[in-house]
C-alpha cells in the first residue's frame, strides 16, 4: 500500500502558541487529504477534508480559524493549530487518497500536548 508520513510525531507547546503538523504522501499523488483527531479511548473524528488547490471543507463544530488547513500540493497538507490551548491536546491523524488508490492511507499520527 501507499505510505503517508506525518511530522512531528510528538509536540509539546505552551498555551497560546501555534503548531503546524505536516502530512505527506510519499509515493503517490494525494488529491484528497483528511484530518482527524482522536481523544483517548475514542474513535477518530473527522475534522476536515481538503482537495489539492482548494479550500478545506470543515465538519460541523470544527473552527476553521482555529484549525488552518493548507493543501498546496499533491503530496503535502498542513494543519496549523492556532493559539493552542490545553483542550486542543489530542492525537491528530491525517489520511490521503488519490486517483489511483480507492482507499485512504493513514499517517502515524501526531500527539499534541498543550501545557
Partner 1 sequence: KQEVTQIPAALSVPEGENLVLNCSFTDSAIYNLQWFRQDPGKGLTSLLLIQSSQREQTSGRLNASLDKSSGRSTLYIAASQPGDSATYLCAVRETSGSRLTFGEGTQLTVNP
> Is residue 89 part of the contact set for partner 1 (CB under 8 A)?
no
User: 69 with 23: CB under 8 angstroms?
Assistant: no
- Vertex 80, ends 77 and 82: CA angle to 5°? 165
Select 32 or 82, whichever has its Cβ closest to partner 1. 32
* Gyration radius of the chain over CA positions: 13
Binder of partner 1 out of 44, 62, 68, 74 (CB under 8 A): 44
The rounded distance, in Å, linking the Cα atoms of 58 and 46 is 9
Is 87 near partner 1 (CB under 8 A)?
no
Binding site for partner 1 (CB under 8 A): 1, 6, 31-32, 34, 42-44, 46, 49, 91, 93, 95, 97, 102-109, 111
Amino acid at each position: 500500500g501507499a505510505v503517508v508520513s506525518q511530522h512531528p510525531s510528538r509536540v509539546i507547546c505552551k498555551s497560546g502558541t501555534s503548531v503546524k503538523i505536516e502530512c505527506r504522501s510519499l509515493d503517490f499523488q494525494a488529491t484528497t487529504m483528511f484530518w482527524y483527531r482522536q481523544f483517548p479511548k475514542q474513535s477518530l473524528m473527522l475534522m476536515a477534508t481538503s482537495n489539492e488547490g482548494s479550500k478545506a471543507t470543515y465538519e460541523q463544530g470544527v473552527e476553521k480559524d482555529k484549525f488552518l488547513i493548507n493543501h498546496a500540493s499533491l503530496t503535502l497538507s498542513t494543519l496549523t493549530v492556532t493559539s493552542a490551548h490545553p483542550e486542543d491536546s489530542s492525537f491528530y491523524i491525517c489520511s490521503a487518497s488519490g486517483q489511483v488508490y480507492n482507499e485512504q492511507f493513514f499517517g502515524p499520527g501526531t500527539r499534541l500536548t498543550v501545557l
